[in-house]
Structure 1
Amino acid sequence: MKSTTRGTLAAVLTGVAAAVGAAAATPAAAIGTVPVPVPVEGAEQSLGMELPELGGEIPLPTAGRPDGPRYVEGRLIPEHALPQLPVTGGLPGAGLRAPLPHVLGDQFDHVGLSTSASDLRTLAPGLNLDAPLTPPNPQNAGLPDLTLPEAGVPVPVLQTVPGANLDLGPGL
């Protein structure tokens, strides 16, 4: 086999492997969370009893596109000199289901508590500046006037709606 054929074959196989790896990673990225099970089967067998089922979800944060500087008439430095960076992700979720001996009657065999991963939207603080000079003033022979310098920090933003469920029911 020629070396060019081998190189072409290696490049094709590398591309196929990358495509398969990307296809395998796409579902987790599309969901936005990664499930985290906590294995307790070994402890159940060694203790000879049912233990609670425990699991969680870890969100995948993604950075957004910041709003760039905006030019405003009458200012020398654009507004949002240091733009705010939006980041979206989520709060982690958790789930717990524990066996419940028939304390509350024959219909209740488990108690469960679950919190789903909830969306979280944040905006990092930014910076607004203005120079101590105004634009050229035609009444002052085209020279700028002096003003007080300005600096401002836009407040950070944090938005989410968390929730939880508590349930009692038959079966584990």
Structure 2
Amino acid sequence: MKSTTRGTLAAVLTCVAAAAGAASATSAAAVGTVPVPVPLDGVEKSLNVELPKIGGEIPLPMPGAPEGPRYVEGRLIPDRVIPQLPVSAGLPGLGLRAPLPEVLGDGFNHVGLDAPASDLRTLSPGLTLDAPLTAPNPDRFGLPDLQLPQAGVLTPVLQTVPGANLGLGQGL
């Protein structure tokens, strides 16, 4: 094989390996949850019974960057004095699989509940204010006019779409 062919092949393999590594790293980072298994194997073996299989997912909250104050013409104080802070996380997930004994036979069926972690988007409350003075008025030789002070609270936001699956099946 020529050295240019070997170099090209090595470059292609390096790119494929980097892409595969990036794909697996982004899928793990995109999930944003930590799996939490509940170990019941010791109790199962000591009591000689079938116990449910339980596992969960705990979300990792990720704070975002606030929008910051917006300057509006005619106002002395910016529009959002205390900006809203976005936080994205998720609702905790749960996986449960419990054995159900068969009425006619020695085998087991199972009932399963799967409530995966769902995305959660929040915005903290914010504050907007306006001063009791207006911007300089050219008709009054640059002196500001008086007005009533204004204060407002920006309401918090909570958005999510949770879901769950409940089902019966054969076997454990």
Normalising TM by the smaller chain, what interval?
0.7 to 0.9
Cα distance change, pair 104–156 in 1 and its aligned pair in 2 (3 A) = farther
What residue is the counterpart of 1:141 in the other structure?
141
Could you tell me whether the CA contact under 8 Å between 1:29 and 1:60 is conserved in 2?
no
What residue is the counterpart of 1:54 in the other structure?
54
Local SS of the residue matching 1:127: strand
What residue is the counterpart of 1:167 in the other structure?
167
Cα distance change, pair 52–90 in 1 and its aligned pair in 2 (3 A) = same
Q: Which stretch shows the higher mean deviation, 105-114 or 115-124?
A: 105-114
Cα distance change, pair 28–105 in 1 and its aligned pair in 2 (3 A) = same
Unpaired runs of 5+ residues, structure 2, are: 1-24
What residue is the counterpart of 2:64 in the other structure?
64
What residue is the counterpart of 2:74 in the other structure?
74
What is the Cα deviation at residue 171 of structure 1?
1.4
**Which one-letter code corresponds to 1:168 in the other structure?**
L
Q: Distance in 2 between matches of 1:84 and 1:57?
A: 27
In the TM superposition, structure 1's runs of 4+ consecutive aligned residues that sit over 3 Å from their partners are 25-30, 103-108
Let me know the Cα RMSD of the aligned residues.
2.0
Q: Distance in 2 between matches of 1:105 and 1:150?
A: 74
What residue is the counterpart of 2:16 in the other structure?
none
Bigger strand share? 2
Could you tell me whether the CA contact under 8 Å between 1:72 and 1:79 is conserved in 2?
yes
Could you tell me whether the CA contact under 8 Å between 2:81 and 2:127 is conserved in 1?
yes
Q: Distance in 1 between matches of 2:107 and 2:83?
A: 57
User: What TM-score, normalized by structure 2, do the two folds share?
Assistant: 0.81
What is the Cα deviation at residue 30 of structure 1?
3.5
The 5 A counterparts of 1:1-172 are 28-103=28-103, 109-172=109-172
Could you tell me whether the CA contact under 8 Å between 2:101 and 2:107 is conserved in 1?
no
What is the Cα deviation at residue 59 of structure 1?
0.4
What is the Cα deviation at residue 28 of structure 1?
4.8
Unpaired runs of 5+ residues, structure 1, are: 1-24
Could you tell me whether the CA contact under 8 Å between 2:94 and 2:115 is conserved in 1?
yes
Could you tell me whether the CA contact under 8 Å between 1:32 and 1:60 is conserved in 2?
yes
**Which one-letter code corresponds to 2:118 in the other structure?**
S
What is the Cα deviation at residue 107 of structure 1?
9.4
What is the Cα deviation at residue 29 of structure 1?
3.6
Cα distance change, pair 139–91 in 1 and its aligned pair in 2 (3 A) = same
Could you tell me whether the CA contact under 8 Å between 2:119 and 2:160 is conserved in 1?
yes
User: What TM-score, normalized by structure 1, do the two folds share?
Assistant: 0.81
Please list the CA deviations of residues 85-134 of structure 1 after superposition, one character each: whole Å capped at 9, or x if unmatched. 00000000001100011149999710011100000000000010100000
Cα distance change, pair 109–139 in 1 and its aligned pair in 2 (3 A) = same
**Which one-letter code corresponds to 1:30 in the other structure?**
A
Q: Distance in 1 between matches of 2:32 and 2:102?
A: 38
